[in-house]
Amino acid sequence: MGAQTILVVEDEFLIRFMLADSLREIGYQVLEAADGDEGFEIIMSGQVIDLIVTDVRMPGAIGGMELTRRSKSLAPARPVIVCSADLLKSESYPADEFLAKPYTIEMLAGLIARLIGDPWQTTTKTHSA
């Protein structure tokens, strides 16, 4: 079994690249989406996704919270981490975790490892739509 796959949904190009590149360096497989619409398209393509990290405010029809709701309706056990500069943790339901911006890659990696394990662990469950 390969490393766990993380879907990173972030409209800020350089932030998305930095996040994805850092998570790949750690050892995860990473799929990148530039907004919620793209994120949902990836989910609906049937690719295995073990965890989603999403921004909240993004252009397009599907924002980060709507993407979270749709993912949870398709795969309730698949963890979602929402990241926002202006949302409150209490407003992040049904996401599993909330990360206030600005945050460090170490903070994000710690949350991911707690939710799906480190990339060298191969016993994680997989979640697909």
Partner 1 sequence: MADDNQDPQCLIVADADVLIRNALAEYLRHCGYKVFEAATSDDVVIALEEGAVRIDALLADADLPGHYNAFELRIWVRNHHPDVEVVLAGNIDAVAKAAGHLCDEGPHLQRPYDPASVAAHIKRLLAATRRQRL
Q: 51-55 and 29-33 as β-strands: parallel, antiparallel, unpaired?
A: unpaired
Contacting partner 1 (CB under 8 A), which of 3, 33, 51, 65? 33
SS3 label, residue 24: helix
Residue 26 binding partner 1, by CB under 8 A? no
Q: Which of 44, 57, 101, 122 binds partner 1 (CB under 8 A)?
A: 44
Q: Residue 85 is which amino acid?
A: A
Q: Does 41 bind partner 1 (CB under 8 A)?
A: yes
Q: Does 85 bind partner 1 (CB under 8 A)?
A: no
The label of the residue with tokens 């295995």 reads 48
CB of 81 to partner 1, least distance (A): 20
By CB under 8 A, is residue 32 in contact with partner 1? yes
Q: CA 62 to CA 56: how far, in whole Å?
A: 10
Choose the stretch contacting partner 1; rule: CB under 8 A; options: 37-45, 84-92, 104-112, 115-123: 37-45
Residue 1, burial from CB neighbour count under 10 angstroms (0-12, 13-18, 19+): exposed
Dist. CA 81–CA 72, nearest whole Å: 12
Binding region for partner 1 (CB under 8 A): 13-14, 16-17, 20-21, 24, 31-35, 38, 41-42, 44-47, 129
